Structure 1
Amino acid sequence: MVKKAVVLVSGGLDSATVLAQARAAGYECYALAFDYGQRHRAELVAAKRVAESGGAAAFKIINLDLSSIGGSALTDMNIDVPDAGASGIPITYVPARNTVFLSIALGWAEVLNANDIFIGVNAVDYSGYPDCRPAFIEAFETLANVATKAGVEGNGMHIHTPLMALSKADIVKAGTQLGVDYAQTVSCYQANDKGEACGRCDSCYLRREGFEQAGIIDPTRYS
């Protein structure tokens, strides 16, 4: 029997790696992206590229409008994206984003009769977002198993986070070994319509450091 999994694909480095890992583990992958009003819309084009080249069985974009509630530099054009190095939880944090994304992924997983969801959250080289930590994932998996027909009937739902404890360099190495083409990905919080990165934001900094520490050429295109 083919194992099915829903894989959250943003178009960035981490989710491209996770898709490759899920495929390597034998899953038939259903890639899910979100048009949530983000300023870096080039990532949606990248998400489609990543899903297609990564061998996803299907690719779906869900339309949400998180810009209607704002509160983040990624969804409110009146808030500037800060350069890397700010302390605390940065203004690029999108309130409840991963909770919303995983909830919809959970619904699609039930429809597909899939018991597995993959997400590329990381708690080592990351921006300090609260919904990227192990405690959040553990709590959401508990919720998933009391909130779904599958969970209640004993067909446990599982949230996989294979990147959680890896450095960005280790992620780059892992993806490279699996043949991920990182030139297809867009990580920048304010990438232009061509997918070119700013080189200044926190995401650009972490990505650049990852390639440098891995000793692998960085294919990122900068504006």
Structure 2
Amino acid sequence: MRNEKAVVVFSGGQDSTTCLLWALKQFKEVATVTFDYGQRHSYEIECAREIAEEIGVSFHVLDMKLINQLSANALTRSDIEVKEGENGELPSTFVPGRNHLFLSFAAVYAQSIGARHIITGVCETDFSGYPDCRDVFVKSLNVTLNLAMEEQFVIHTPLMWLNKAETWKLADDLGALSFIREKTLTCYEGIRGDGCGKCPACKLRKQGLDSYLAQKQGGGSL
């Protein structure tokens, strides 16, 4: 695959940055595409831009603010509280159709630059119950995109079956543990690095990091 081109769906967060570094090991040329969907912290886009520039890959932003016209959620509305799902309900941070739209537009962008591979950091192991993070969804959409566009896209999900500790291990294996810990933005409160430590995203990130570091220090395996 080193002679092929790839597009990474990129947010500047832990998962997508890990996927970007993974892609650079797999493909000869890698581009990133970031989406401006009116997220409550526009700093996320600047963070992604800075990381892309530092790593030396192309950076492209697509305007997807139309999502805000269709649903209200905590990622696009500052007046909605960030809450984990209760009693089988989805978290308030779920943006309906987001990954469906992002991957579809990423495919259009990939076609425009002659890329066949699309990489996304969705994960079914440590996720918040988002239906569009599931493996079955990604595989289904992959087939649909190929039929709709007469292409042979391959959607890669390097983190699909990894928990957060294993994602940190992958970052370490890629020689980028400190880089991802310090440079990325995962926090729902818009705080780079280790974040606020209180929101669901920060808690999951910290639990994974603590677990991985404990295993590493103890000489165990994940």
TM-score between the two structures when normalised by the length of structure 2: 0.87
Q: After the TM superposition, which residues 184-223 of structure 1 pair with which residues of structure 2 at under 5 Å, given as runs? A: 184-191=183-190, 197-215=195-213
The one-letter amino acid paired with 2:196 is C
Using the TM superposition, give the Cα deviation of residue 195 of structure 1 relative to its aligned residue in structure 2, in angstroms.
Answer: 7.2
RMSD: 1.9
1:132 corresponds to: 133
In the aligned structure 1, how far is the partner of 2:101 from the partner of 2:202?
Answer: 25
SS in 2 for 1:7: strand
In the aligned structure 2, how far is the partner of 1:196 from the partner of 1:80?
Answer: 21
Number of aligned positions between the proteins? 208
In the aligned structure 1, how far is the partner of 2:27 from the partner of 2:12?
Answer: 21
The reply on whether 1:172 has 2:162 as its aligned counterpart is no
Paired residues of 1:38 and 1:67 also in contact (CA < 8 A)? no
- Tell me which moved more, 41-50 or 6-15: 41-50
Paired residues of 2:6 and 2:27 also in contact (CA < 8 A)? no
CA offsets 1:188-213 (integer angstroms, 9 cap, x no match) = 11215x77733222111110111101
In the aligned structure 2, how far is the partner of 1:41 from the partner of 1:61?
Answer: 12
1:95 corresponds to: 96
In the aligned structure 1, how far is the partner of 2:136 from the partner of 2:199?
Answer: 26
* Structure 2 unmatched runs, 5+: 215-222
In the aligned structure 2, how far is the partner of 1:96 from the partner of 1:85?
Answer: 17
Paired residues of 1:7 and 1:31 also in contact (CA < 8 A)? yes
The one-letter amino acid paired with 1:186 is L
Between the two structures, name the one with larger relative contact order (CA 8 Å, sep ≥ 6). Answer: 1
In the aligned structure 2, how far is the partner of 1:210 from the partner of 1:109?
Answer: 32
Paired residues of 1:126 and 1:206 also in contact (CA < 8 A)? no
The one-letter amino acid paired with 1:145 is N
* Structure 1 unmatched runs, 5+: 217-223
In the aligned structure 2, how far is the partner of 1:113 from the partner of 1:163?
Answer: 25
TM-score between the two structures when normalised by the length of structure 1: 0.87
